[in-house]
Amino acid sequence: MLSVDKAVVVKALKDLSAYLQLNGENAFKVRAYDIAAERIASLTDDLGAMVEQHTLTSLPGIGESIAKKIEELATTGKMSALDEIRAKFPPRILELMTVPDLGPKKARALFEQLGVGSLDELEKACQEQRVRTLKGFGQKTEEKLLANLAVARRAASSGGRRRLGDVLPQAEALLAWIRQAPGVVRASLGGSVRRQRETVADVDILASAPDPQPVFAHFQRYPAIGEVIGAGESKSSVRLKESDLQVDLRVLPDEDFASALHHFTGSKAHHIKLRGLALEKGLTISEWGVHRMKAGDNAAAKAGVAKHESAEAKLPIRDEADLYALLGMQYVPPELREDWGEIEAALAHTLPVDLITASDIVGNVHAHSTWSDGMNSLEEMARAAKALGLTWFTVTEHSQTSGYAGGLSIDKLKQQWDEIDRVNETVKGIRLLKGVESDILEDGSLDYPDSVLEQLDVVIGSIHQRYSQDEEQMTRRMLNAFDNPFLHIWGHPTGRLIGKREPAPMRMEEILDKAAKKGVTIEVNGCPDRMDLSPEHVRKALERGLKLVISTDAHSVSELSAHLPFAIASARKGWARVGDVVNAREVKQFLKAIRRS
Ligand code: DGT
Ligand code: CA
Ligand code: ZN
């Protein structure tokens, strides 16, 4: 049977769309390729089989012409339409589009008028002040481009940290592969990935098996591995092909698994504090397990001398809970192991035991459909949400000012309400609410008159354009926005894009104070490049008694499930409990909770 790598097909379709836009094709026409890429990415059927049976056109959004291109790629390894258009441009031109705020239109102008075809050439053109001479660019744009170029370089350099959103799917696929290896008893992710840090340096995986060698042999046969960079008795390191991501696998006897998993989950700061506590109880904790010290060892251990060889008994640790129990404290979930106060709380038995989980979420608050810049129709989104087990759902399209994202005029918004009513009648078992994601304008006002806003169930207010405001202006903008009683939820609060765009400058504590006073609910947005709020800010919000919504901000059916883990990660790392999250409640309670009294 034909084996087809979906990722290769998705990339080819996306590249084709990018090249067509560079070539001046209109964005609407080109969207078909992005929609098709999205279809393939979220496909659960076997792509190879569909190609062989010529059934690709049964997928919505995939017509004859795109199906042919996919079949050609799958069977010959080439997509001639892509090769042809690629040949018209310098080989590295798509790099330009990794620069924040540099879209296809600008990239095209830079190429056609200045011959810029790579990041290096763009840098040179900016430094030589040639960019500012182009129509529509100017000195300010040139300076901004130069700064953003540095951001793009940092993100691309393989030495840098990567977004959890890019790494987690690769890590999980690899973990599933390792679980298939001969003799594996248990296996888990470790390190910063298990702790759900928003950026990670590498992937740590631990497994237990009676004999490590067959596990390593299986590991090294993983198709996506580029090179093996280290192979020892109990550890093997590899680099993945496309992403250049480093993965360390450790394999141990099962009796050592839990303490090793604990050690290699970290964080270092959490461990250092735990070790101090252990010493006071006459225990040592290390990579090699938990040991009870002989009399006299204590001083040596405190002086930093490793004494595990001479220590008396190695204590059995079946799972991580045993380890915390030995220290007389509550179990600490991996996401909380950062020395952010979790050890003190676990000792006092005040650590939350009901942290929010994905399965607690019963409604979706923030999503987009083809009414604005989403990939799927409203009905498709509703059916997908229902299939995920949600009981209520809100589409929140962009508002009038966000013309670039298909923002809705008042007329369009009202037409969308009719469609929502229709879908509510045809799709049973899930309730669609009427909502909008309104821009928060420069002065803090919303993008529709109150007479429109008051008719909506859910109003998210978000900043999408910054107009280069400084901290004072941005803070004022938010404080003013909260004076509008129709704003229910503050969407992707800081506006950051991890590795691409810094959080907007604003006095967060002052803003959260006002949100608490005014009863505004705060979003934790799960777009993998946003993860906004951050865990630190989630905690600050919770300390003020604010409520949270866990959002996917899904622009397609697949993102409804793909984005959820990242919002949950941020929320859990910020110690959010089930009761703090308004979309872990049924629709009536949700609507009551977000209403501003
Ligand atoms: P990363 O890789 O920078 O995203 O962050 P981590 O936390 O995954 O760090 P990594 O991969 O260097 O090490 C994984 C875990 O192993 C770390 O969280 C704690 C443990 N570990 C590694 N080196 C040390 C060390 O020198 N002392 C202690 N106490 N623990 C260590
Ligand atoms: Ca790591
Ligand atoms: Zn948004």
**How does the average pLDDT of the chain come out, rounded?**
92
First-to-final CA distance of the chain: 62
Ligand closest to CA 405: 3
Please provide the CATH number assigned to the domain covering 162-252: 3.30.460.10
Question: Which sequence spans correspond to the domains of the chain?
Answer: 6-86, 93-156, 162-252, 258-347, 358-594
- Is pLDDT at 304 greater than 70 in this prediction? no
Cβ of 435 below 6 Å from ligand 1: no
Please provide the CATH number assigned to the domain covering 258-347: 3.30.210.10
User: What percent of the chain has a predicted confidence (pLDDT) above 70?
Assistant: 96
Distances (CA, A) of 25 to 16, 17, 63, 85, 131: 11, 9, 19, 12, 23
Distances (CA, A) of 539 to 101, 198, 497, 536, 574: 31, 16, 20, 5, 5
Best CATH choice for the domain 6-86 from the list 1.20.970.10, 1.20.140.10, 1.10.150.110, 1.10.760.10: 1.10.150.110
Tell me: the pLDDT tens digits for 526-538? 999 999 999 999 9
Kindly give the distance from the C-alpha atom of residue 47 to the centroid of ligand 3, in angstroms, as a whole number: 32
**Residue 7: predicted pLDDT:** 79
Transcribe 178-191 into DSSP letters.
HHTSTT--EEEEEH
Tell me: the pLDDT tens digits for 14-47? 999 999 999 998 877 788 898 898 888 777 788 9
Q: How confident is the model at residue 521 (pLDDT cuts 50, 70, 90)?
A: very high
Tell me: the pLDDT tens digits for 532-575? 999 999 999 999 999 999 999 999 999 999 999 999 999 999 99
**Residue 311: predicted pLDDT:** 46
From 166, 264, 285, 290, mutation site for ligand 1 pocket: most ligand atoms within 8 A of C-beta: 264
Determine whether domain 93-156 maps to CATH 3.40.50.720: no
Element (H, E) at 106: helix 104-114
pTM comes to 0.78
Ligand closest to CA 274: 1
Q: How confident is the model at residue 155 (pLDDT cuts 50, 70, 90)?
A: low
Tell me: the pLDDT tens digits for 478-499? 999 999 999 999 999 999 999 8
Kindly give the distance from the C-alpha atom of residue 261 to the centroid of ligand 2, in angstroms, as a whole number: 12
Fold matches, 6-86 and 93-156: yes
Please provide the CATH number assigned to the domain covering 358-594: 3.20.20.140
